[in-house]
Amino acid sequence: MLIASVDYGLNCGIAVADIEFFRGEYHLHEVYLNTLYNALDKTNEILEKIKPFSVVLEDCPKLASNYSIFLFQSIKQNLEKLNYSTESKNILEQNSLVLVSPGQWKPFVKASNIDLTAWITKTDHEKDAMSLLWYILRVTTKKEIKYV
């Protein structure tokens, strides 16, 4: 099952993993990892093309800039047009769009010291997208999550 993670901003990090449950832990196999520079349309196009099982999107902070709010709303609305829904908070349910605030996932990931080295990242945006994906799977499944 393909799950996508989007760390949006002027530069948008996208991580898409094929998730496999193996010997009591989840393995995340790289399908797509990239940073898109000032490319909202390209971000939406990639998500439409890949058609992930579900998507985790960083929620918009309360004090975000107008541009960040615009980006968040645009990506969220595009995903909703593709029949993704925020009704389910379970990333393992098909067509779920799970919103996670930076205040939730960043401290948890920082304290967990996760290993992202199996995938070669070029930017912090890609690392953030991978970390966000790791976080949502970890808190949802309570299982070990491993990038392979």
Domain count, the chain: 1
**pLDDT digit string (tens) for 98-147?**
999 999 999 999 999 899 999 999 999 999 999 999 999 999 999 999 99
pLDDT at res. 39: 87
Rounded mean pLDDT of 55-63? 91
pLDDT at position 123 is 96
What confidence tens digit (pLDDT) does each residue in 37-53 have? Answer: 988 999 999 999 999 99
Assess whether pLDDT exceeds 90 at residue 62: no
- pTM for the model stands at 0.94
Provide CB contacts within 8 A for 4, sequence distance 6+.
14, 15, 16, 32, 47, 50, 52, 54, 55, 56
**pLDDT number for residue 83:** 97
Domain of 68, in residue numbers: 2-147
- Please report the pLDDT score of residue 64 as a whole number: 85
* CATH of residue 93: 3.30.420.10
| The pLDDT value given to residue 63 | 82
